[in-house]
């Protein structure tokens, strides 16, 4: 293949003729400087490009110091008040686990019996809370309406889950053993 010739005009005549060989023996590789693995080469290219490396280093140091100061301030603003919330959350989780264990203890282990025990415990909790709300002065009609709504939802859930349980053969409920059986009773406050 014969190389193509092109004429390149410059400011002053005569025209210059150059030969273009394709593909070029020298290929440029254009990559962002940040992607170069060698730190010394990356810094040299940044410096050649006009980047202020000292300012960049101090900027990084100040950024990390800013993050550290923000964390320190946040820790001191929250203080140890957050620890009480963590403790309360752990007590709540323990109480929930105890409720789950009580549901398992109140059933024979079959899926339908576990669901029935859950429904009974839910109804007892709702009725107890409703009585407390009424004693605290809440609107009696509103509370009774909400209790009736919860009862309708519970019956709907029971009706919807019954075909599933029957299709599964009312197999034993596969639940992990109670995690709080060996724990001591909750200390009084």
At 35-60, the pLDDT tens digits run 888 888 888 888 888 888 888 888 88
pLDDT at 79: 62
Q: Which pLDDT does position 187 carry in this prediction?
A: 45
CA dist 130 → 99, 118, 121, 137, 145 (Å): 19, 18, 14, 11, 10
The tens digit of pLDDT for each residue in 150-180 reads 888 888 888 888 888 777 777 776 666 665 5
Q: What per-residue confidence (pLDDT) applies to 185? A: 47
Nearest 5°: the CA angle 20, 23, 26 is 90
Q: Where are the alpha helices (DSSP H) in the chain?
A: 39-48, 53-78, 81-105, 111-135, 140-167
In angstroms, the CA 67 to CA 85 distance is 25
With bands split at pLDDT 50, 70 and 90, how would you rate the model's confidence at 99? confident
Is this prediction's pTM over 0.75? no
Q: In the structure, what pLDDT confidence band is assigned to residue 21 with cuts at 50, 70 and 90?
A: low
Contact call for residues 16 and 8 (beta carbons, < 8 A): yes
Q: What is the rounded average pLDDT for all residues in the chain? A: 75
Q: Assess whether pLDDT exceeds 70 at residue 101.
A: yes
For the cut 80, the answer to whether the pLDDT of residue 11 exceeds it is no
Length of the chain in residues, anyone? 189
Give pLDDT, residue 188: 44
């Amino acid at each position: 293949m014969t190389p193509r010739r092109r004429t390149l005009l410059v400011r002053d005549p005569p025209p210059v003729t150059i030969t273009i060989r394709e593909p070029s023996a020298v290929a440029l590789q254009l990559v962002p400087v940040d992607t170069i693995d060698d730190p010394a080469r990356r810094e040299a290219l940044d410096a050649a490009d006009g980047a202020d490396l000292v300012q960049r280093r101090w900027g990084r140091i100040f950024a990390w110091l800013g993050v550290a100061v923000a964390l320190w301030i946040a820790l001191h603003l929250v203080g140890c008040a957050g620890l009480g919330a963590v403790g309360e959350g752990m007590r709540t989780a323990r109480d929930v686990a105890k409720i789950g264990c009580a549901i398992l203890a109140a059933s024979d282990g079959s899926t339908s019996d576990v669901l029935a025990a859950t429904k009974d415990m839910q109804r007892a909790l709702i009725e107890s809370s409703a009585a407390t709300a009424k004693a605290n002065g809440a609107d009696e009609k509103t509370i009774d309406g909400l209790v009736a709504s919860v009862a309708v939802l519970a019956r709907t859930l029971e009706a919807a889950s019954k075909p599933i349980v029957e299709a599964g053969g009312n197999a034993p409920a596969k639940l992990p053993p109670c995690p709080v059986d060996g724990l001591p009773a909750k200390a009084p406050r």
